[in-house]
Amino acid sequence: RLYRTGDLVRWNAEGQIEYLGRIDHQVKIRGFRIELGEIEAQLLSQPEVREAVVVARQSPGVGRASLVGYVAAHAGQAADSVVLRERLGRVLPDYMVPRAIVTLPSLPLNANGKVDRSALPDPEALGRERAFDEPQGEAEEALAGIWRDVLGVERVARDDNFFELGGDSILSLKLIAKVRQQLPGGSQLGLADVMQAGSLAALADRLQQRLGDSHHAVCLHAGGAGIPLFCMPGLIVNTREFQVLAQALEGDRPVYGFVSHVYTAKRWRGFAIHELAAEYADFILATATGGRCALLGWSLGGDLAFEVARQLEGRIEVAFIGAVDVFETEPMIPAGTLTAAQRAQADQALAEWLARSEMAAQWKALMARMDERERDWVAEQMLDPVEAFPSDGAGDEAAEYLLWATLDSRVQSMRYAYEMLSRPVHVFQAESSLRRDGRLRDWSAHAPVAATDVLENADHLDIIRHPQLGALVKQRLLAADAA
């Protein structure tokens, strides 16, 4: 065949020239002169696309033209606009990627058999014709307000795409700036999040996830209209230990669990109650935007829940505090007085052990924080031939690291000064814990006690999964919802 100036062609795999279309449709977008045919050629190169055309349309609200693509798929195939935009973004500069790609059964043709560009539907009109899905939850609603402001549109649905509403890379930067200024967790949001999120709802999810990641929180259940519950972990606890409790609440409310400090990047800070509680409180304030929250702490987490409640006083209503099988901290008191010979032997054993340990610096820092009685207790343990101190390193599951975390928690807990709390505490105790060595915490010394429940056939390690605990917590939280 004969080719004319302006025809767009390419060499195919057989070494033949393949006609793709014309490049005489030029437009100017954001100061760049663009050949629409180049973009159409990239769309036509996609395996599922049978027909394609690109036009410049006035963007809603932003007062300037932007690109819109229209495609028809091969029989038996489907064209996904989000996927197509992502592929184009790999080979074309940002200003050449259409803000929207509309899928049609076939492209409209004029009497001459050419694409009738004037008959192509308005993508905004198509969006108005489909069912409008309102933003859900305060995060989506707040984010939708920012989208309306940045894009200049009247309304935003939860399944709307930022770029299909007229967004581009410049508006993305404006969006991120506003999100960082106005929304909790916004400082963690990046350009990649905006580019990759396919909808308002997806971006709100990413925002919440960034907030959770920065505070070591995991969302165990996202739905429900009840007061959100925040679970504080014990020392060596996987957050998923709270999953059974979350399921027992049967979707009544959002449920979050914090990751034990032992498994975070700040683990060498140890059980720093005030600092941990401050971080948890910040997350709760950013997440419980309805103005009320519920707290529950298991084991050592009971002390965290108490301190979080104290730090939240006057900032948000703490509607429920649950303390699950919390023991008094066991002080490290030596059994007797070491002789000079015993102390020398203990010092030698300690020096030899530290020489083998890859955690020597952390152990020395911990012992520097101990008082004399606590160091004497450590010396006694060094002389015990049965309970030799482990030296298997700093891995999350290493016995040496877990020993360090346990002793650190005992040292820091002994220095924590309880202040009286005005909010009542709901106390839950395992039946077997009443017979164990060690003493369960007397919460009445620190706060009013709303109720004390002893769970039959429960022990310290499985009480958090006990069906009776789930039923009791559900009952108390529903009462708090109604109050």
Tens of pLDDT, residues 114-168? 888 889 988 766 655 456 788 887 778 889 999 999 888 888 888 888 877 777 7
Say whether pLDDT at 349 is over 80. Answer: yes
Which range has the top average pLDDT, 9-18, 103-112, 299-308? 299-308
**How many CA atoms does the CB half-sphere of 135 hold within 13 Å?**
23
Which range has the top average pLDDT, 22-26, 142-146, 154-158, 351-355? 351-355
pLDDT of residue 64: 65
Q: What angle do CA 151, 154, 157 make, to 5 degrees?
A: 85
Res. 6 pLDDT band, cuts 50 70 90? low
Structure tokens at 69: 């693509």
pLDDT of residue 11: 78
pLDDT of residue 236: 84
How far is CA 341 from its chain centroid?
A: 55
Question: For the domain bounded by 217-329+416-482, which CATH number is listed?
Answer: 3.40.50.1820
Regarding predicted confidence, which is higher, 22 or 176? 176
pTM of this structure = 0.65
CATH of 22-104, one of 3.30.300.30, 3.40.50.300, 1.10.20.10, 3.30.470.10: 3.30.300.30
Secondary structure (3-state) at 10: strand
Stated as kind and residue range, the H or E segment containing 468 is helix 467-482
CB 416 within 8 A of CB 273: yes
CB 271 within 8 A of CB 300: yes
For range 36-52, the mean pLDDT: 92
**How many CA atoms does the CB half-sphere of 267 hold within 13 Å?**
18
Say whether pLDDT at 256 is over 70. Answer: yes
Say whether pLDDT at 443 is over 70. Answer: yes
For range 171-181, the mean pLDDT: 84
The answer to whether the Cα torsion of 390, 393, 399, 405 is positive or negative is positive
Regarding predicted confidence, which is higher, 49 or 95? 49
pLDDT of residue 191: 75
For range 224-230, the mean pLDDT: 94
**301-312 helix and 273-287 helix, angle to the nearest 10 degrees:** 60
Say whether pLDDT at 313 is over 60. Answer: yes
The fold of 138-213 is 1.10.1200
Regarding predicted confidence, which is higher, 454 or 3? 454
Res. 460 pLDDT band, cuts 50 70 90? very high
Res. 410 pLDDT band, cuts 50 70 90? very high
Say whether pLDDT at 432 is over 90. Answer: yes
Regarding predicted confidence, which is higher, 65 or 361? 361
Enumerate the domain spans of the chain. Answer: 22-104, 138-213, 217-329+416-482, 340-415
Res. 180 pLDDT band, cuts 50 70 90? confident
Say whether pLDDT at 59 is over 70. Answer: no
**C-alpha–C-alpha distance, residues 392 and 404, integer Å:** 12
Say whether pLDDT at 463 is over 90. Answer: yes
